[in-house]
Structures are given as structure tokens and as C-alpha cells.
Amino acid sequence: MLSWLREPLYVYFAVVYVALGIAIIYSCGNTERAIRLVGGALQIMGLSTVIWGIAATRKQFGHTSGLRLAASWFRRCPIVRRTAYLEPDGITVGASLIGIRLTSVFTPKPDLSFAERLTVIEKGILTVQQRVSDAESQMDQERGNTHGKIAAETNARERGDKEVMKQLEGASTGGVYISAIGTLWLFAGLVLSTASPELAAYFR
């Protein structure tokens, strides 16, 4: 029951202020001045919902608020003196960014004996095999990292798409409630302000 009653929360919020305005008019003796002032207040409240809706939409999309934009604009005034700070950015290149490999090269000398040259060649073959094995291991590791990054990027994009759709839906439907509240307040304010003499005469 409570959950069902909470559904039209925006309706309660809008009607409460109209009822409060009527109560103020009644407490002031239903005078024309009271009706006109309450109507003007409701009109201002109705127009303020426009600012409210714009601020809510900007907040949903992560934009800076209007007050901060205004303050930033005033701070950028050429008349205001500001101290400039220059901080040089250091660029450091480590060994992790640049692949460095030190590989000994086995070159048999012509003056060596056949057995010594064969030993040198065998060492060279072992070195080549080790390098091929290291290269294959590195390629497998890079392939695994690449697949992991692609999967993570896919998940991140899917979450981002869902978040964007949620923000678009909120911006499209969330502002409807604010506009409805503003319309009710503006309508009540216009009626009270325009027909204040007739209403005051009617309640006398």
C-alpha cells in the first residue's frame, strides 16, 4: 500500500504548494492583494522549474553547473590579476617501453680446429633455439594479453552503452515530471494573478 501511494510522488509535491498557497490566501482573509501575491509566487516557482530541469539534465550528462560556469567566467576577467605557474612535464622513457635484448653472437673463427668450430656452432644453435622459444612464449603472452584487453574493452563498451541509454532515458522522461510540476504552478499562478479581483469579490 505504501509503495502504491509513493508512486505519484511528484503529484503530491506539486499539489502541496498549490494547497499551501490557497491556505495562505484563506488565512489572509481572501483579499485581492493576497491572491495576487500568491499567484505571482506560484508563477515564479513555475518558471524556476525550467532552471531546475536544465540543471538536472546537465548533471545527468556530467556537465559543470551554471554557478561554476559563471564563477569561472568571472575569474577569467582580464582585469583580474592572476599568478601564472609553469610546471614542465618530465618525460621518462624506461626499459619497459623499449625492448632491449643482449644476445651473444657465436661466430667461428677460421683458424680454429674443426672440433672447436663445431662447438661454437652448437652453442649458436642452442642460442637460436632459446631465442625462438622465448619469442614464441612472448607471442603467446602478448596474444593472451590482447584477448584479455579486447574482452575488457568489449565489457566496458557494453556498460558504457547501457549507461548512455540510461542517461538518455532519464533526460527524456525525467524532465517530464519537472515540466508537469512547473505547468501546474504556472497555471495556478496565472489564474490567481489574473482573476484576483473577481476571486476576492466572490469570497466576500
Q: What is the pLDDT of residues 38-49, one digit of tens each?
A: 999 999 988 888
Higher pLDDT, 65 or 92: 65
Sign of the CA dihedral 4, 9, 14, 18? positive
CB 45 within 8 A of CB 181: no
Q: Evaluate whether 10 touches 176 at the Cβ level (below 8 Å).
A: no
Residue linked to cell 558504457 = 160
The full set of domain ranges for the chain reads: 10-63+104-202
pTM: 0.49
Neighbours of 15 (CB within 10 A): 14
The pLDDT assigned to 82 comes to 62
- The pLDDT tens digits of the residues spanning 98-134 come to 455 555 555 666 777 777 777 878 888 888 888 888 8
CA dist 132 and 197 (Å) reads 97
> Using CA atoms, how far apart are residues 42 and 196, in angstroms rounded to an integer?
13
CA distance 50 to 44: 10
Kindly report, residue by residue over 4-62, the tens digit of the pLDDT.
887 778 788 888 989 999 999 889 888 888 899 999 999 998 888 888 877 777 776 67
